[in-house]
């Protein structure tokens, strides 16, 4: 990471800065979605963009996720670079035909003749007391589909660099932001940078156990690592940053080094991201493992409203600490 000279941004500011820089750099880039212009999005991630770029490039749409995602697919095929804003990750269900049957397949089905350089930005993450239809983490759905790339930043620095890469990519990219992390601050340098896809980042080096964590779970993993350190256990925390392409090599190398692995992700564990990464590690580092790979995803229930119930559905620093200590015991 280049030095930030002490400059810190929130994750929301980093996203906004990435969008603004790419829109200044490339007149083909535009944003479309619900309440994104004057309203700047309910999470205020996009505040100020319409003032700089106008309503032609920061476009308020009807509440028609399937429709405007489809418009974005067509616009991407014909010379523009749309960034689709899907207000809550739960609403990606409405876009699935356009993303899965259209965007993901256009390049392959046309024998490589048409391409779809678009980004779909949306959110993930529970614990905002928003109940079952505004709290899901459905990124695994996109990971399942060839032709899509899937990005989950966990810091303001990563968010900015990865979003710029996503906008410049020639393919449809699904970009998931943890809505609870928009106010998370972190160093972001002034100068231009991008982060390549398929390169995991070791957020904390360690020797005794590897914790692979994505997005919202990275901070939880780092908190758990601190608790583990006090208990004499050295945890390595790795963030894959992009789930496809996936940096299998870094994950497997760390697993071989520490011989114990926990995989964390806020999506559902069953048939989910944690299952896939656990299997990659099991296949790649089987003879070096001292214990089965431990999966920690969201509990397999619709996200409940009641706060104590909701809090019980996602891994916590304590639950990770307990699992790690049991594995290292």
Partner 1 sequence: MATAVDRSPLDSKTEDELWLRVYRRMVTIRLFEEQVNDLYTRALMPGLAHLYIGEEGVAVGICEALRPDDYITSTHRGHGHCLAKGATPDRMFAELLGKEAGYCKGKGGSMHIADPATGNLGANAIVGGSAGIATGAAFSAKRLGTGQVSVCFFGEGALGQGSLYEVMNMASLWKLPVVYVCENNLYNEYTHFSEVTAGDILARGTAFGLESEAVDGQDVRAVHATAKRLVERARRGEGPALLLANTYRYHGHHVGDVSRDYYRSKQEEQQWKSERDPIQILSAWLTAQKLADAASLGQIQAEAKAEIDQAVQFATAAPYPGVDKVAQDVYAGE
Give the shortest CB-135-to-partner 1 separation in angstroms.
25
Q: In this complex, which beta carbon is closest to partner 1, that of residue 196 or of residue 307?
A: 196
Number of neighbouring beta carbons within 10 Å of residue 159 = 33
In terms of C-beta density within 10 A (0-12 exposed, 13-18 middle, 19 or more buried), how is residue 102 classed? buried
Distance CA(109)–CA(106), nearest Å, equals 5
Given 134, 139, 144, 300, which residue is catalytic? 134
Binding segment for partner 1 (CB under 8 A), chosen from 1-9, 85-93, 166-174, 283-291, is: 166-174
Per rule CB under 8 A, is residue 110 in the interface with partner 1? yes
Distance CA(309)–CA(131), nearest Å, equals 10
Give the shortest CB-76-to-partner 1 separation in angstroms.
7
Binding segment for partner 1 (CB under 8 A), chosen from 69-77, 152-160, 218-226, 265-273, is: 69-77
Which of residues 4, 21, 35, 74 is near partner 1 by CB under 8 A?
Answer: 74
Q: In this complex, which beta carbon is closest to partner 1, that of residue 169 or of residue 248?
A: 169
**Main-chain dihedrals φ then ψ at residue 293, nearest 5 degrees:** -65, 135
Q: What string of DSSP letters covers 255-322?
A: HHHHS-EEEEEEEESTTSHHHHHHHHHHHHHGGG-SSPPEEEEE-SSPPPSSHHHHHTTS--HHHHHH
Q: Has 41 been annotated as catalytic?
A: no
Per rule CB under 8 A, is residue 67 in the interface with partner 1? yes
Omega into 245 within 30° of 0, i.e. cis?
yes
Distance CA(296)–CA(186), nearest Å, equals 26
Per rule CB under 8 A, is residue 232 in the interface with partner 1? no
Per rule CB under 8 A, is residue 144 in the interface with partner 1? no
Which of residues 9, 29, 37, 61 is near partner 1 by CB under 8 A?
Answer: 61
Structure tokens at 160: 């900015």
**Main-chain dihedrals φ then ψ at residue 156, nearest 5 degrees:** -60, -40
Structure tokens at 319: 């639950």
In terms of C-beta density within 10 A (0-12 exposed, 13-18 middle, 19 or more buried), how is residue 282 classed? middle
Which of residues 3, 108, 205, 292 is near partner 1 by CB under 8 A?
Answer: 108
Applying the rule CB under 8 A, the residues between 28 and 57 that interact with partner 1 are 30, 56
Per rule CB under 8 A, is residue 26 in the interface with partner 1? no
The count of chain residues that interact with partner 1, using the rule CB under 8 A, is: 43
Which of residues 1, 4, 20, 80 is near partner 1 by CB under 8 A?
Answer: 80
- Return residues touching partner 1 (CB under 8 A): 30, 56, 61-62, 64, 66-80, 82, 97-98, 101-102, 106-117, 146-147, 149, 169-171
Tell me which residues are annotated as active site.
Answer: 134
């Amino acid at each position: 990471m280049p030095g930030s000279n002490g400059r810190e941004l929130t994750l929301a500011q980093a996203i906004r800065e990435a969008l603004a820089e790419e829109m200044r750099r490339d007149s083909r880039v535009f944003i479309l979605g619900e309440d994104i212009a004057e309203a700047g999005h309910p999470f205020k991630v996009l505040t100020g963009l319409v003032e700089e770029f106008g309503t032609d490039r920061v476009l308020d749409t009807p509440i028609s996720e399937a429709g405007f995602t489809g418009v974005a697919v067509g616009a991407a095929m014909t010379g523009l670079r749309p960034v689709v804003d899907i207000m809550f990750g739960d609403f990606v269900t409405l876009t699935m035909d356009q993303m899965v049957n259209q965007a993901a397949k256009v390049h392959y089905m046309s024998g490589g003749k048409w391409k779809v350089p678009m980004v779909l930005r949306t959110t993930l993450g529970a614990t905002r007391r928003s109940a079952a239809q505004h709290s899901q983490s459905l990124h695994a759905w996109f990971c399942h589909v060839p032709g899509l790339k899937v990005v989950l930043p966990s810091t303001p620095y990563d968010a900015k660099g990865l979003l710029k890469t996503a906008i410049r990519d020639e393919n449809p990219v699904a970009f998931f932001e943890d809505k609870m992390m928009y106010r998370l601050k972190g160093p972001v340098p002034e100068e231009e940078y991008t982060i390549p896809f398929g390169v995991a980042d070791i957020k904390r080096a360690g020797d005794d156990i590897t914790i692979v964590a994505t997005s919202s779970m990275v901070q939880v993993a780092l908190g758990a690592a601190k608790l583990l350190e006090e208990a004499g256990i050295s945890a390595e925390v790795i963030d894959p940053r992009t789930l496809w392409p996936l940096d299998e090599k870094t994950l497997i190398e760390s697993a071989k080094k520490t011989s114990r692995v926990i995989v964390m992700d806020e999506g559902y564990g069953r048939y989910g991201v944690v299952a896939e990464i656990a299997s990659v590690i099991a296949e790649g580092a089987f003879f070096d493992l001292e214990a089965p790979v431990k999966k920690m995803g969201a509990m397999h229930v619709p996200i409940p409203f009641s706060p104590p119930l909701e809090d019980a559905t996602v891994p916590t620093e304590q639950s990770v600490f307990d699992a790690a200590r049991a594995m290292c015991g």
